[in-house]
Copies of this chain bind each other. A is one copy, B any other.
Amino acid sequence: MLKNWNRPEKPGDEEIEVRLKAAKAKLGAQQMLIKEHKLPVVALFEGWGAAGKGSVLGKVILNIDPRFFKVFPMDIPTEEEKRKPFLYRYFVKIPEAGKFCFLESGWMDEITRECLYGGWKEKEYKKRIDSVKRFERQLTDNGYLVMKFFFHISQKEQQKRLHGLQEDENTSWRVSDADLWQNQHYDKCLKVYSQYLDDTNVSTSPWYIVDAKSKKWAQLQVLETLVSGIDTALKNRSIAVPLLQNVFPMEKMPKLSEISLDKALTQEEYKKELGVLQDRLRELHNELYRKKIPVVIAYEGWDAAGKGGNIKRITGALDPRGYEVHPIASPEPHEKARHYLWRFWNRLPKTGHVAIFDRTWYGRVMVERLEGFCSENDWQRAYNEINEFEKELSDWGAVILKFWVQIDKDVQLKRFTDRQNTPEKQWKITEEDWRNREKWDYYEVAINEMMKKTSTAYAPWHVLESNDKKYARIKALRIVIEEIEKALSRA
């Protein structure tokens, strides 16, 4: 895109002033519409060093009330961020509905930097491009407006600016070795940037090349583009988004009704196996930590199926400094105001750590679907979005374990009644549990569809037959151990 770029014609100074004034007023008015229509806006400011991204950004935000935006200066990833998936530090920064976030720079900078000095090969680059395209598409599909600006200046102009900055003691620290390197290897960088822009230029989140030679003119281009992007996005609110074909390898899953639930263990068998398996898992946890492999364990299942007790048998074998259990309830307001996967991205483990989710992102295709908390288009899109999310985790090197804890309706009734009649257990049973029980058949349809559509080869579902809780616990431990062993043998 940069190589055969047609520089837009710069208007006269007077015209720029008039149009700037109009664009600023428009943006000022739009912020209220954005709030009202709950439109979240993500704007990336990418481009050459010293192209003036920061100073234009500084002007743009003066038109927006501080309640409605955040600016994130993105440096190179911290040690902590390096222990999370690539997209982590971007995903956790997405704004709430009705607000702006500005990133300077964004993921383009990180990826092209790796290409230029990180010694990346074609394969790593392609993987990142896939991640980024999915990420941006998930944002726009979920109602985000994504605006991507690339600030362009010539080699000569950049050189002039870098020298100017270097000459002043108070600005010389702004000129990094990377900036100087970039200027010296301008053509090489141009090639990489141009390639990246081509590879990620899609109609739902296209690139805008900003002629950054004059600051005011650059500011005008950004403002007018932003304002017109917002106009379009506001018109597109609540339009359904086409569903995508599945592109991931799948495993075949049985229907819930085909699963036999008469498996059981005696107390003796259970005690013996439990001790052996927990000892083994304890050893493996050390090895995982040492080899820095992350583990994500997801529990879903009927109310009173025994998720909590099952999880306890896993955590009983783990070092508390290396795992966390995340009980997932309905989202808090600041979580609800973002992409539904945001709160799960926020809770990902570091490499070498274990995160256990008691209920998960699958709420989207179960409770949110059945209670109408999201639109049909939303939950139908979610199967693919979730497969993509888990693909990120898998590519990152995570062991992913997804358990469906299965019981039959009679067993649930027995356990509900027992909870109701035992004072210490009463807090565990609510009116909602009884209401959900009435929707058992609807849930069963949703669960069968979920297991069919999200049992990817890299993250298949495992059913834990839990009419006998002891059996389910031992089975879970076995699967956890087996999958960790496989991952360790590959590491």
A residues bordering B, Cβ < 8 Å? Answer: 28-29, 32, 54-55, 57-58, 61-62, 65-67, 70-71, 73, 78-80, 102, 104, 170-171, 173-174, 283, 286-287, 289-290, 308, 311-312, 315-316, 318-322, 324-327, 329, 332-334, 358, 424, 427
Give the top 9 A-B pairs by smallest Cβ distance, nearest first: A66-B325, A73-B321, A170-B286, A67-B327, A58-B320, A57-B320, A71-B320, A66-B327, A173-B290
Asked if residues B318 and A58 are in contact (CB atoms below 8 Å), the reply is: yes
What chain B residues lie within 8 Å of A327 (beta carbons)? 65-67
Contacts known (A73-B321, A173-B289); A62 close to B332, Cβ less than 8 A? no
Nearest B residue to A333 by beta-carbon distance? Answer: B332
State A78–B66 Cα separation when bound (angstroms). 29
What chain B residues lie within 8 Å of A102 (beta carbons)? 320
In addition to A54-B321, A58-B320, A78-B80, 8 A-B residue pairs with Cβ atoms within 8 Å of each other are A58-B315, A58-B319, A61-B320, A71-B320, A173-B286, A173-B289, A332-B333, A332-B334
Q: Could you give 27 example pairs across A and B, Cβ below 8 Å? A: A28-B424, A54-B319, A58-B318, A62-B312, A65-B327, A66-B308, A66-B311, A66-B325, A66-B326, A66-B327, A67-B329, A71-B320, A71-B321, A73-B320, A73-B321, A73-B322, A78-B79, A78-B80, A80-B80, A104-B320, A170-B283, A170-B286, A170-B287, A170-B290, A173-B286, A173-B289, A334-B334
A326 to chain B, nearest CB (A): 8
Asked if residues B320 and A29 are in contact (CB atoms below 8 Å), the reply is: no
What chain B residues lie within 8 Å of A326 (beta carbons)? 66
What chain B residues lie within 8 Å of A29 (beta carbons)? 424
Asked if residues B62 and A315 are in contact (CB atoms below 8 Å), the reply is: yes
Nearest B residue to A285 by beta-carbon distance? Answer: B170
Nearest B residue to A328 by beta-carbon distance? Answer: B67
What chain B residues lie within 8 Å of A170 (beta carbons)? 283, 286-287, 290
State A277–B32 Cα separation when bound (angstroms). 31
Nearest B residue to A318 by beta-carbon distance? Answer: B58
What chain B residues lie within 8 Å of A290 (beta carbons)? 170, 173
Of B311, B318, B321, which is within 8 A of A104 by CB? B321
Asked if residues A54 and B320 are in contact (CB atoms below 8 Å), the reply is: yes
Nearest B residue to A56 by beta-carbon distance? Answer: B320
What chain B residues lie within 8 Å of A73 (beta carbons)? 320-322
Asked if residues A286 and B171 are in contact (CB atoms below 8 Å), the reply is: yes
A30 to chain B, nearest CB (A): 12
Of B61, B79, B308, which is within 8 A of A65 by CB? B308
What chain B residues lie within 8 Å of A54 (beta carbons)? 319-321
Nearest B residue to A356 by beta-carbon distance? Answer: B66
What chain B residues lie within 8 Å of A322 (beta carbons)? 73
State A316–B62 Cα separation when bound (angstroms). 7
**Listed residue (A55, A170, A329) with the most chain B CB atoms within 10 angstroms of its CB:** A170
What chain B residues lie within 8 Å of A70 (beta carbons)? 324
State A173–B102 Cα separation when bound (angstroms). 41
Nearest B residue to A284 by beta-carbon distance? Answer: B170
Of B71, B316, B321, which is within 8 A of A324 by CB? B71
State A257–B286 Cα separation when bound (angstroms). 67
**Listed residue (A308, A315, A319, A334) with the most chain B CB atoms within 10 angstroms of its CB:** A319
Nearest B residue to A80 by beta-carbon distance? Answer: B78
What chain B residues lie within 8 Å of A71 (beta carbons)? 320-321, 324
What chain B residues lie within 8 Å of A319 (beta carbons)? 54-55, 58
State A32–B427 Cα separation when bound (angstroms). 9
State A62–B71 Cα separation when bound (angstroms). 41
A316 to chain B, nearest CB (A): 6
What chain B residues lie within 8 Å of A315 (beta carbons)? 58, 61-62
Nearest B residue to A174 by beta-carbon distance? Answer: B286
State A311–B66 Cα separation when bound (angstroms). 10
State A391–B173 Cα separation when bound (angstroms). 30
What chain B residues lie within 8 Å of A66 (beta carbons)? 308, 311, 325-327, 358
Nearest B residue to A70 by beta-carbon distance? Answer: B324
**Listed residue (A66, A67, A290, A333) with the most chain B CB atoms within 10 angstroms of its CB:** A66
